[in-house]
Amino acid sequence: MLRVAVAGASGYMGAELLRLLSVHPEVQLTAVTSERLAGERLDRVFPHLRGLSGLTMSELDPSRLADQADVVFLALPHMESQRAVPILRGQGRKVIDLSADYRLRDAALYGTWYKADHIDAVGLAEAVYGLPELHRKAIATASLVANPGCYPMGAVLATAPLIKSGLGRGEGIVVDGKSGVTGAGAQGRKVEPMYLYTEANENVQAYGIGTHRHTPEIEQELSALAGQPVVVGFTPHLLPMNRGLFTTASVPLTKSAGSGDLLALYREFYAGEPFVRVVPEGERPTTRAVVGSNFCDVTVVSDPRTGRAVCVSALDNLGKGGSANGIQNLNIMMGWDERTGLEAPPVYP
């Protein structure tokens, strides 16, 4: 059995990792950390995991984790993973990081978007962006995988076939993302007012307009697909639901194409992908159809009046947008079937 540890296990991403890893047939969960809840039993922190683990939360000690596990998932606050990764990798451990610390290729972007300098140049240069549908071969041989952010996952999967084929222009792309409140993390005792029940319920709010940290991540991946710089207009929104992320992207076309032709392109691009479902023409993705899973449902509709394609995706921000995708990356790194531990269908209702 592969020994696996989760650092930052008390947040929503950490909790979802624990739920999935506890029933993964190839792994043994050997350590969990939380600075906030060190000393607490896992099943007391998360009653839904009662009977699945008797582990106790401990403070983060990368050297000790390296002794306890072969692979370490990091679900830490942004700019904290870079302090632990060099120690873990120095002791030969594989790392899957769910924070933003290793997602951006250009270190200077961290100063711009995260207001902090990156301190692990070697790790940043060697990290592989963990989007299996685009980087599967590199993930398979990686020792450090940077799991994508939820908004970039939705935006990139929604638009990748158009951008890669050249049918979608690299300029004038507008991305609208909507996420459930778990996208903000558990936040401990410090909760921003917009995430309070009284503010989020029966309400829709835009935030981070023109400044959201996932913007350079989306542009990085689309630029690589296009083979030239791509700039997007991205606006995230908060929806009054626990889980789920819905993306609508408007992409200018380089030539006219009908919806049927665009869907054929998407089906070809995602043929054989176990977790991307191109929905039939006339149907639309919904968050309800993917919650609790690693699926991303996508579709595309031609708008000939404007010369654009409207690309839509739906995923679970904690699933394909986070922890479940991290386990898909683990499966690829270990040479297992990608679906291992992720076979359960979405939750309904």
- Verify that 32 and 87 share a domain, yes or no: yes
Rg over CA atoms, the chain: 20
Burial profile 182-211: b = 16 or more Cβ within 10 angstroms, e = fewer:
bbbbeeeeeeeeebeeebbeeeeeeebeee
For residue 168, being part of any structural domain is answered with yes
Q: What is the pLDDT of residue 190?
A: 58
What pLDDT sits at residue 52?
Answer: 87
* pLDDT at 197 (0 to 100): 80
pLDDT value of residue 116: 94
Which amino acids are annotated catalytic? 150
Residues 107 and 240 in one domain: no
Element (H, E) at 219: helix 215-226
Distance separating alpha carbons of residues 347 and 349, to the nearest angstrom: 6
| Angle at CA of residue 4, ends 54 and 103, nearest 5° | 130
- The verdict on residue 123 lying in a domain is yes
Is there a domain that residue 339 lies in? no
Selection from 245, 259, 266 nearest residue 313 by Cα: 245
Contact (CB, 8 A) for 126 and 242? no
Pair (109, 209) in one structural domain: no
Same domain, yes or no: 161 and 294: yes
Residue with tokens 């869907």: 263
How many distinct structural domains can be found in the chain? 2
The confidence score (pLDDT) of residue 100 equals 97
Residue 220 exposure: Cα atoms within 13 Å on the Cβ side: 20
Dihedral pair phi/psi, residue 313, rounded to 5°:
-140, 155
Pair 119, 187 in one domain = no
Cβ-based neighbours of 174, under 8 Å, separated by 6 or more: 232, 233, 234, 249, 250
Would you say 80 and 101 are in contact if contact means Cβ atoms under 8 Å apart? Answer: yes
* Nearest residue to 100 (alpha-carbon basis) of 114, 84, 87: 114
pLDDT of residue 349: 86
> Is 343 a domain residue?
no
Q: What is the pLDDT of residue 191?
A: 59
Q: What is the CATH number of the domain that holds 81?
A: 3.40.50.720
Q: 161 and 275 share a domain?
A: yes
Element holding 110 (H helix, E strand): helix 108-113
Q: Which two tokens stand for residue 142?
A: 């990686």
The letter for the amino acid at 306 is: T
Closest CA to 184 of 162, 168, 200: 200
Residue 129 sits in the same domain as residue 158: no
Secondary structure letter of residue 346 according to DSSP:
P
Same domain, yes or no, for 40 and 129? yes
Whether residue 299 is contained in a domain is answered as yes
pTM: 0.95
* Residue type for position 217: E
Distances (CA, A) of 340 to 12, 87, 111, 292: 22, 29, 38, 15
Phi-psi region of 167 (alpha: psi -120 to 50; beta: other; left: phi over 0): alpha
Instruction: Supply the pLDDT for residue 200.
Output: 86
Q: Which of the residues in the chain have pLDDT under 50?
A: 187, 189
Are the C-beta atoms of 123 and 144 separated by less than 8 Å?
yes
120, 157: one domain: no
Say if residue 108 is in the same domain as residue 198: no
The percentage of the chain sitting over the pLDDT mark of 70, rounded to a whole number, equals 98
CA gap 42, 62 in Å, rounded: 19
Are 164 and 288 within one domain?
Answer: yes
Residue 342 belongs to some domain of the structure: no
Rounded Cα distance between 75 and 170, Å, is 32
Q: So what's the pLDDT on residue 257?
A: 96
Residue 259: CATH number of its domain: 3.30.360.10
Domain that holds residue 37: 2-148+322-334
Same domain, 281 and 187: yes
Residue 340 lies in a domain: no
For residue 114, being part of any structural domain is answered with yes
